[in-house]
C-alpha cells in the first residue's frame, strides 16, 4: 500500500524527470533538446555576449547542483567546474569537451534524483517542494530556448 509520503515522492520525481528526460505533454525536455547537438551548434552564439547552447547545458547542471546542495546542506564551491551560474563555454570546443559537459548535466540530474529519494527516506533536510518544481520548470524553459537556438543556427547556416 502506498503512503502519502511515497505518493509525494513519486510525483516530485516524475515532475523532475519530465523536465529533464521523460516524455511529457508539453513537448521537448532538456535532454531531448540537446540530443544530436553538434559541437559547432553548441558553441555558436546568436550575437555578441549572448549565451550558447553549451553554456545553457552547464547552467542547467549548475542549478541542479545548487538545489541538491541546498537540500543536503552541502558546502558551496563544490561544483566540478570553476565559476557559478553562467560559466563561459567552450574553453576547448572539442567533441570530447562537449560530451563531458553533457555527462556533467546527466550526473547532476542523477545526483539530484538520488538526493530527493534520500530525503523521502529520512536522510536529509525538509523536502524543498518549490525548488523541485523550480528546477523542473528551469529545464523546460531552457529546453525551449535550446530548440530556438538550434533553429536560428540552422537558418544562419542555410543563408551563408
For 67, residues 6+ apart whose C-beta sits below 8 A from its C-beta are: 112, 128, 131, 132, 134, 135
Identify the CATH number of the domain in which residue 41 sits.
1.20.120
> Which range marks the domain in which residue 143 is found?
4-158
pLDDT tens digits, residue range 59-118?
999 999 999 999 888 888 889 999 999 999 988 899 999 999 999 999 999 999 999 988
pTM of this prediction exceeds 0.85: yes
* Domain total in the chain: 1
Amino acid at each position: 500500500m502506498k503512503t502519502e509520503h511515497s505518493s509525494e515522492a513519486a510525483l516530485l520525481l516524475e515532475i523532475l524527470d519530465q523536465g529533464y528526460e521523460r516524455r511529457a505533454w508539453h513537448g521537448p525536455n532538456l535532454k531531448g533538446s540537446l540530443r544530436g547537438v553538434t559541437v559547432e551548434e553548441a558553441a555558436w552564439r546568436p550575437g555578441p555576449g549572448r549565451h550558447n547552447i553549451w553554456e545553457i547545458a552547464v547552467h542547467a547542471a549548475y542549478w541542479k547542483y545548487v538545489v541538491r546542495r541546498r537540500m543536503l546542506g552541502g558546502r558551496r564551491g563544490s561544483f566540478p567546474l570553476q565559476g557559478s551560474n553562467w560559466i563561459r563555454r567552450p574553453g576547448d570546443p572539442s567533441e570530447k569537451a562537449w560530451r563531458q559537459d553533457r555527462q556533467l548535466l546527466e550526473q547532476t540530474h542523477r545526483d539530484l534524483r538520488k538526493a530527493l529519494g534520500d530525503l523521502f527516506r529520512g536522510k536529509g533536510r525538509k523536502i524543498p517542494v518549490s525548488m523541485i518544481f523550480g528546477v523542473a520548470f528551469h529545464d523546460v524553459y531552457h529546453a525551449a530556448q535550446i530548440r530556438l537556438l538550434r533553429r536560428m543556427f540552422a537558418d544562419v547556416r542555410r543563408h551563408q
